[in-house]
Structure 1
Amino acid sequence: MSGHSKWANIKHKKARSDEKKGKVFTKIAKEIIIAARDGGGDPDNNPRLKALIQKAKGVNMPNENILRAIKRGTGEIEGGNIEEVTYEGYGPGGVALMLSIVTDNRNRTAADIRHLFSKHGGNLGEAGCVSWMFRKKGLLTLNSEDIGMDADEFMLIAIEAGAEDVREDSGVLEVITSPEDFSTVKEQLENYGIRFDSAQVAMVPETIVDVNDLETAKKVLKLVDILEDHDDVQEVYANFSIPDDIMEKVQLQ
């Protein structure tokens, strides 16, 4: 995960255009609709909704957008029927990819995603073809320079807060939790003044594919970028790890 997390952190720090920001708002709104529909509109009794509201505020999503999405989910405002699906496949170099999708037209989305995989050197697979390589976990990431304390001290605090593991790779720290402990660990670490670049319940890979070839790395990152940009794709989970020297070359091109 570390190679992908580092790439995500790099993109997170880039300034977003208004168009990009609008797309982010739309994607989060879809997640909020699903969460409110499945667990109710009260964030105090719906941990998933609570986490999504925090995520929305973290990207400065207007409150009226958040409230409108919640009301759509609870049925107070009418809206089209949307559903959650997961797509799985392989990218260049045998990299495993899992896509979290929210769509109002499954057939259209499936055709789009299949086309993107095929066009960029990947293959959309059957359900279950790569999911066995991933486990659902809470994932908190940040730059090791931003923790404001010694790395060993941070790791100890995270473990005491309930984290299952803390990993560091190329300046990126990953705090791994169970899905159930995610909110508690996040809140306790934030009490120390720590702010995360990303915080989500994600599919974390247990099997890593090392991508040591520049051209393959470029193709993998291009495919991930394009998939993430699709309107119906909420998240792309991948199991690649790219060495620092290769990642730096990709960024320069």
Structure 2
Amino acid sequence: MAGHSKWKNIQHRKGRQDALKGKIFAKLAREIYVAARSGDKDPANNHQLRLVIAKARSQNMPNENIERAIKKASGSGTGQNFESITYEGYGPGGTAVMVEALTDNRNRTAADIRHIFSKNGGNLGESGCVSWMFERKGILVADRVQTGLDEEELMLVVLESGAEDIESTDSNYEITTSPENFETVKETLEKEGLSFSTAEVTFIPSNKVEIHGDAVKKVIQLIYALEDHDDVQNVYSNFEANDEELAKVMDE
């Protein structure tokens, strides 16, 4: 599971964050709007809305932005009608790629996503072609230094909270939960004083593909191109590459 935080660290490199900064909050606002519009506007009574708000807060989205998106969804009239669509395909090196999108024009978005795959050495596939390689899990990432607990003590607290697993990297602890237990585990650990740089229910690859050399660069270029599309909310891939090759690509 530790590969998840490795990819998050790549995404969060300063240059990448600066490039995406104008889009991150806009995409989160769209997710909040859709979750609020499809259910109760009170997060206490809307599970999906609570999950999206937790994700937004882990990205340091201001409360006023969150409240504005909910208020917009509460407005009178028909509003915007966004459709949730998942695209599946293959990237360079035989990697699997899943793309979650929210769109108000299915035909436009499908054509755009197909073009991005093709332009970057991939192929858009049929529904179900790669989703079987991923599992839906809750992920909580905490900074090792800021936890205030030693590793053994933290592991005990985490497992008692109902989490499935905890793994450590050089800088983080990565806690895995079932989607159903995500909120309970998060709230329990926050009461223990933990804060999280990542808090979301996401897709984790259960079947990974190791890539090297030029394939690493091509896969990351494909993922970046997909993430840059306004309708794309999340991109998942099952690639695995060593730190040195990843660092080299990121520094180019």
TM-score (norm 1): 0.88
Deviates more, 1:65-74 or 1:242-251: 65-74
Please say if 1:91 is aligned against 2:104.
Answer: no
Unaligned runs of 5+ in 2: none
CA distance in 2, matches of 1:51, 1:172: 22
Judge conservation of contact 1:170–1:244 (CA < 8 Å) in 2: no
Find the counterpart in structure 2 of residue 231 from structure 1.
230
CA distance in 2, matches of 1:216, 1:247: 11
Unaligned runs of 5+ in 1: none
Shift, 1:36, TM fit:
1.1
Find the counterpart in structure 2 of residue 217 from structure 1.
216
Shift, 1:63, TM fit:
4.0
Judge conservation of contact 1:99–1:233 (CA < 8 Å) in 2: yes
CA distance in 2, matches of 1:220, 1:119: 12
Judge conservation of contact 1:9–1:142 (CA < 8 Å) in 2: no
What secondary structure sits across from 1:180 in the alignment?
helix
Find the counterpart in structure 2 of residue 207 from structure 1.
207
Shift, 1:5, TM fit:
3.1
CA distance in 2, matches of 1:87, 1:120: 16
Find the counterpart in structure 2 of residue 158 from structure 1.
158
Please say if 1:118 is aligned against 2:118.
Answer: yes
Judge conservation of contact 1:4–1:238 (CA < 8 Å) in 2: no
Find the counterpart in structure 2 of residue 246 from structure 1.
245
Are the structure 2 counterparts of residues 154 and 62 from structure 1 closer, same or farther at C-alpha, using a change threshold of 3 Å? closer
CA distance in 2, matches of 1:167, 1:132: 24
What secondary structure sits across from 1:25 in the alignment?
helix
CA distance in 1, matches of 2:224, 2:143: 21
> Number of matched residues?
251
Find the counterpart in structure 1 of residue 46 from structure 2.
46
Find the counterpart in structure 1 of residue 26 from structure 2.
26
Judge conservation of contact 2:166–2:175 (CA < 8 Å) in 1: yes
Shift, 1:149, TM fit:
3.1
Are the structure 2 counterparts of residues 135 and 42 from structure 1 closer, same or farther at C-alpha, using a change threshold of 3 Å? same
Find the counterpart in structure 1 of residue 55 from structure 2.
55
Deviates more, 1:119-128 or 1:157-166: 157-166
The aligned runs of 1:138-153 (5 Å cut-off) are 138-153=138-153
CA distance in 1, matches of 2:62, 2:207: 39
CA distance in 1, matches of 2:215, 2:247: 14
Q: Deviations over 1:197-245 (max 9, x none)?
A: 211111111111122x121111111111121121111111111222122
What secondary structure sits across from 1:234 in the alignment?
strand
Judge conservation of contact 1:80–1:104 (CA < 8 Å) in 2: yes
TM-score (norm 2): 0.89
Shift, 1:146, TM fit:
4.5
Find the counterpart in structure 2 of residue 189 from structure 1.
189
CA distance in 2, matches of 1:172, 1:60: 18
Find the counterpart in structure 1 of residue 106 from structure 2.
106
Please say if 1:69 is aligned against 2:100.
Answer: no
Shift, 1:143, TM fit:
4.5
Find the counterpart in structure 2 of residue 132 from structure 1.
132
Judge conservation of contact 2:216–2:241 (CA < 8 Å) in 1: yes
Shift, 1:196, TM fit:
1.8
Shift, 1:58, TM fit:
4.0
CA distance in 2, matches of 1:182, 1:218: 33
Are the structure 2 counterparts of residues 55 and 14 from structure 1 closer, same or farther at C-alpha, using a change threshold of 3 Å? same
Judge conservation of contact 2:58–2:197 (CA < 8 Å) in 1: no
What secondary structure sits across from 2:180 in the alignment?
coil
Find the counterpart in structure 1 of residue 9 from structure 2.
9
CA distance in 2, matches of 1:60, 1:140: 15
Shift, 1:250, TM fit:
2.2
